[in-house]
A and B are shown apart, each in its own frame.
Chain A
Amino acid sequence: MTTFWDIVHLLTGTPLIPVAIMGLTWGILGGALPGISASITMALVLPFTYTMDPAMAIALLACVYIGAEYGGSIPAILIRTPGTNSSAATVIDGYELNRQGRAGEALGISLMSGVVGSLFGLAMLVLLTEPLSWLALAFTPPSYFGLGILGLSVIASMTGGSLVKGLAAAVIGLMIATVGTDPISGVTRFTFDVPDLLNGVEPVLVMVGLFALTELMSQSGSVSLTQLKESVRIRLPGLAMMNRLKRSQIIGCILGLFEGLTPGGGGSIAAFMSYNEARRWSKTPEKFGKGSEEGVAAPEAANNTVASTALIPLLSFGIPSSNSTAVLLGGLLMHGLLPGPRLFEQNPQVIDSLYVGSFVAIIAQIGVGMLLLPAAVWLVNRPRPYRAGFIFALILSGIYTLNTSTFDLGIALALGVVGYLMRRTGFPFLPMILGVVLGHMVESSYRRSLVLSGGDMMVFLQDPICVGLLLAATGFVVFSLTRELRDGRRARAEQARNHKTHGQEAHG
């Protein structure tokens, strides 16, 4: 049980406050760079956390996530280019407000709505995560197997339109997870007598390779055409305006909570859903799309809520529901922290630091957000060739920090090629990441369960938690597949209708 004095100690006896502000700063700057998503911003900083205290490292990553969600709205409002995927909905009315000469106001609404969403999300995180973790005491090897399968079932909703490709990506991730020392017998697998492979391929290398290097490769040769106005300043909304935005912020918070808890939900879906609902419930729906303040508030409240609520399934059950939470999971694993219920039992200081650090970052976001705007604008306006060089050098320097090994650099570069080819051929990344991070848990708990039961497969059906988790996984897969099939049918029907209409027009 965390006491008031524990929190005071965290704030005064540890470097949590500077760590939170550093994470927030990095997140805002990274999120502000078009093409650098929240997950890439987190992946870039991940190798740096290797030498840090685990509690501070996880708090830093969580604060980067919070900062990136706000940072993404800066270019969305100023140059009609979302810095992150989840700020895409902010473009609609944010940019319209900018065109009307109200960019500062739009940025202020985005900042304050983000703070409201983040605070609500954090409250939900604190309230819901701990009760879910009570299941921890009852977890056995079969339960962990069920948990791993539930985590992998997220793949069903992350297939990017092709289930076969999503599954193939997951299998490749699981294959990467088998490299190294076998968890039960201790023999080496796929190491090819290379000592660097004895401990396997670190998930962080996969994440940095797939997210960061692939993005740099994809952007190679492209030209940044738009420059941000350097004179823009944030104008925070007054009480009357905040009162007007209340309804849309509440909508954003509720949908952000729902989508954060849903595997595969994510900030983008929450932002667009809340934009639509805010318009539906608005007293001035006609203003949406023409520079509505509510049209900025709702998606920003939603995507910032998701930045906290997406951590609930991650911390309670070890299930990452988005790319960003997968990177956070990578951070936990890198520090030897087993995500899921045991984290609360064995490392409560990590959880406390994450909660308190997030709170510090959310409050500091108002001041840091205003102070950092000129820096973010300056950074976005740097010539792209230099930006690419600095980011590439940063990535390779960070990877070397992990084990001071050039072999790791080679692995990350190779995974960059794999990621680039996957992107070109439409293979999603998240299933592969899930395979890498959950592969070890699934295999070792499955085999341990069989060793304990003398090879009796019924051991999985005798454990009520395992049965519950497996049923939940099955239900989730069935639900996702049904939705995919339904969406596919709708798309085909729409296509057929369009063909028919075009045919009639041609004949007419």
Chain B
Amino acid sequence: MNKDAWSGVALLAVAGIYYWATGAIPDSTLEDEVGAVGLPHVLALVLALLGLILLVRGVLAARSEAATAPEDEERDARLPRALGFLALGAAYVLLLPYVGYLLGVALLIGAVALYEGAPRNWTLPAAALGGAVLYWAVFVKLLGVNQPVGTLFQGLFS
């Protein structure tokens, strides 16, 4: 199967899950003719139809297509790398309540730079810490945003 066919399968799955989730929408005494489930039902059906079209088109096209193009292979190889990049963001989100904003941002900048191939020398921690202080000054001091202090350091700052 080619990418269109896989996309079609994914759309069908999304449509199915979305339709199933409409079952949890409660009834209301203020219900109008269309109701809270009216549009979601239509959307799920339309998406399923589009998914089906894409699946059929993809399967038909796959028969006449040659082997995977080198460009596609190269892009496939970059998927884990891209997901790894985002995983650093997810780690930041998970650590933020514990380590707080200042340390969290320093770790994020350092980790991303390292992941992207920055050389392991003094510049790396200097840039990470400098960036964290800069962002802390802008967001916490200048804009007054209540960024998390972090449970690890709560005793120090409270």
Contacts and interface: CB of A to CB of B under 8 A. Distances in A.
Interface of A: 48, 51, 164-165, 167-168, 171-172, 174-175, 178, 182, 184-190, 192, 213, 216-218, 220-221, 223, 383-386, 388-390, 392-394, 396-397, 400-401, 404, 406, 409-410, 413, 416-417, 420, 424-427, 443, 446-447, 450-451, 455
B139 A397 contact: yes
Nearest to B35: A185
B28 to A, nearest CB: 4
Nearest to A409: B93
Nearest to A395: B89
Interface in B5-42: 6-7, 11, 14, 18, 21-22, 24-28, 30-36, 38-40
Given A182-B36, A218-B78, A409-B92, 11 more contacts: A167-B46, A175-B14, A175-B44, A187-B26, A188-B26, A189-B36, A218-B82, A389-B111, A389-B116, A424-B3, A426-B3
B1 interface: no
A385 B47 contact: no
A203 to B, nearest CB: 17
B126 to A, nearest CB: 10
A221 B81 contact: yes
14 contacts: A51-B145, A168-B50, A172-B14, A174-B39, A178-B40, A213-B89, A217-B82, A218-B82, A384-B116, A389-B116, A394-B135, A397-B147, A409-B96, A451-B32
A404 B33 contact: no
Contact of A417 (B24, B83, B93): B83
B50 A385 contact: no
A410 B32 CA distance: 34
Contact of B34 (A48, A396, A450): A450
Q: Across chains A and B, which 7 residue pairs bring their CB atoms closest together, nearest first?
A: A385-B116, A389-B112, A185-B28, A385-B118, A389-B109, A217-B82, A182-B36
B93 A393 contact: no
Contacts of A185: 28, 30-32, 35-36
Given A172-B14, A185-B28, A389 B131 contact: yes
Nearest to A404: B146
A175 B43 contact: yes
Interface string B108-120: 1111111111100
Contact of B53 (A164, A171, A189): A164
Contacts of A416: 86, 89
Given A184-B32, A397-B147, A401-B145, A164 B57 contact: yes
B78 A443 contact: no
